[in-house]
């Protein structure tokens, strides 16, 4: 009998384990058995049904960015059960590094992706959807370096895009491409090749798309990356992207927009006052309506439940583990308030983005690299806030060493 809750020791909370769908694990077990007798290339050599079930749960049920911590835990557990689960490896690396802002991390992520793509090629998997995803992630990491952290340097973008395009063409020629779902995915990747070629390699005119926040954001990045940047057009497109909170948060950190953020038009349009309540942060977004109904509008309101997370969970209709993340965020803000006021909440937001609430190891890493973390946070706040004091970096580094 499949009991995924019993097979997920280390996931973090009993409630999180109980949310695992047993039928998904049954399906995973069936697929693994079928793969032993048939060439199911879509499993990429996965032989552990537990690992497969955990990976599917992480990628299907945890798409909201507020659930990224649990998704990382699920993927880590999937790799514990089968370290060479290739789809889980790529999914975890993407979650860990898709929003890298430093050249060191972007370069390291790119190197990992090149190695990963090479391993897929060695196994005859170079024309599969997994390989196409890896190629696209590699291209985006090079774009962020080329137009963000290493402007003006030739980092091999043209070669990466050409290789990506060849992989898409090879995938289209495979027998499995006749499958409607696979064909749709290949078409999507083909469109990405065309977009990157047009936008960044100058192979043709680019018609900007602003039909959705994601399209508007991509178009803003294209405009901002042109040698003759139209600042006002990029700002206009970013305003459209801001309809989705994730893009409003990311534009202050995106390496590709670094040159735009230095322009007066951007700073006039987007510089804000520091948020003063953790309730305003994205981590609280799924619970905002319930919090408002309960009259919880300040950091102190949430911090009152420190040590009483089951009570907060019942009030919010949430998992106790999620309630603990909320009180941990509030406690960090209270701790930071005296030293960093009025920037405590903004600092907590950046630490949450860096995964400090996900594990004790993540918090220890922040303490160890306090000065570097402080520098990266101050850089983001400088691009987002109207006023950032000169001594914030020093104060922040000292505080981070003690969290």
- Location of structure tokens 């946070």: 377
User: Contact, 162 vs 197, CB < 8 A?
Assistant: no
300: number of Cβ within 10 Å? 14
In this prediction, residue 34 carries a pLDDT of: 87
- For 89-101, b/e burial (b = at least 16 CB within 10 A) is bbbbbbbbbebbb
pTM over 0.85: no
In this prediction, residue 178 carries a pLDDT of: 72
Peptide bond into 16 cis (omega under 30): no
In this prediction, residue 66 carries a pLDDT of: 57
283 Rama sector, left if φ>0, alpha if ψ -120 to 50, beta otherwise: alpha
User: Contact, 331 vs 306, CB < 8 A?
Assistant: yes
User: Contact, 383 vs 261, CB < 8 A?
Assistant: yes
Backbone angles phi, psi at 39, to 5 degrees: -85, 80
* CA distances in angstroms from 216 to 238, 277, 354, listed in the order given: 7, 29, 25
Helices (H) and strands (E) in the chain, counts: 22, 0
User: Contact, 299 vs 345, CB < 8 A?
Assistant: yes
* Max Cα–Cα distance, the chain, nearest Å: 65
- How deeply is 118 buried, as exposed, middle or buried, from its count of CB atoms within 10 A (0-12, 13-18, 19+)? exposed
User: Contact, 244 vs 216, CB < 8 A?
Assistant: no
Backbone angles phi, psi at 307, to 5 degrees: 90, -10
Q: At a CB cut-off of 8 Å and minimum separation 6, what does 360 contact?
A: none
From first to last of its 403 residues, the chain has per-residue pLDDT tens of 555 555 555 555 555 555 677 888 889 989 898 888 776 667 898 999 999 999 998 888 666 555 777 888 889 999 999 999 999 999 999 999 988 888 999 999 999 999 999 999 999 999 999 999 999 999 999 999 998 889 889 999 999 999 999 999 999 998 876 788 889 999 999 989 988 888 788 766 667 889 999 999 999 998 998 888 999 999 999 999 999 888 988 998 999 999 999 999 999 999 988 999 999 998 998 899 999 999 999 999 999 999 999 999 999 998 888 899 999 999 999 999 989 989 999 999 999 988 898 888 889 999 999 999 999 999 999 988 988 999 999 999 999 999 9
């Amino acid at each position: 009998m499949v009991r995924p809750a019993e097979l997920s020791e280390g996931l973090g909370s009993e409630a999180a384990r109980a949310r695992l769908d047993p039928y998904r694990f049954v399906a995973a077990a069936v697929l693994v058995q079928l793969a032993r007798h048939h060439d199911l290339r879509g499993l990429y050599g996965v032989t552990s049904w537990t690992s497969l079930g955990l990976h599917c749960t992480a990628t299907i049920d945890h798409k909201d960015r507020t659930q990224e911590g649990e998704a990382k835990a699920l993927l880590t557990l999937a790799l514990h059960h089968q370290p060479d689960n290739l789809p889980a490896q790529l999914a975890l690396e993407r979650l860990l590094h898709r929003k890298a802002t430093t050249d060191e991390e972007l370069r390291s992520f790119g190197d990992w992706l090149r190695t990963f793509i090479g391993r897929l090629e060695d196994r005859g998997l170079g024309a599969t959807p997994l390989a196409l995803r890896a190629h696209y992630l590699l291209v985006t990491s090079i774009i962020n370096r080329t137009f963000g952290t290493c402007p003006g340097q030739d980092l091999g973008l043209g070669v990466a895009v050409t290789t990506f395009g060849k992989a898409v063409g090879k995938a289209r020629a495979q027998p499995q491409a006749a499958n409607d779902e696979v064909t749709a995915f290949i078409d999507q990747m083909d469109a990405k090749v065309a977009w990157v070629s047009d936008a960044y390699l100058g192979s043709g005119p680019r018609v900007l798309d602003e039909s959705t926040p994601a399209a508007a954001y991509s178009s803003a990045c294209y405009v901002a990356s042109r040698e003759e940047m139209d600042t006002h057009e990029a700002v206009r497109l970013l305003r459209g992207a801001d309809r989705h909170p994730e893009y409003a948060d990311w534009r202050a950190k995106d390496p590709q927009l670094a040159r735009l953020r230095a322009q007066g038009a951007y700073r006039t349009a987007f510089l804000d006052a520091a948020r003063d309540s953790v309730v305003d942060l994205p981590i609280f977004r799924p619970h905002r309506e319930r919090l408002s109904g309960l009259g919880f509008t300040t950091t102190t309101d949430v911090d009152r439940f420190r040590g009483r997370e089951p009570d907060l969970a019942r009030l919010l209709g949430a998992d106790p583990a999620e309630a603990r993340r909320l009180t941990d965020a509030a406690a960090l803000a209270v701790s930071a308030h005296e030293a960093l006021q009025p920037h405590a909440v903004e600092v907590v937001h950046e630490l949450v983005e860096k995964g400090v609430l996900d594990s004790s190891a993540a918090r220890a890493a922040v303490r160890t690299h306090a000065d570097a973390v402080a520098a990266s946070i101050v850089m983001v706040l400088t691009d987002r806030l109207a006023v950032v004091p000169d001594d914030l970096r020093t104060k922040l580094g000292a505080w981070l060493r003690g969290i």
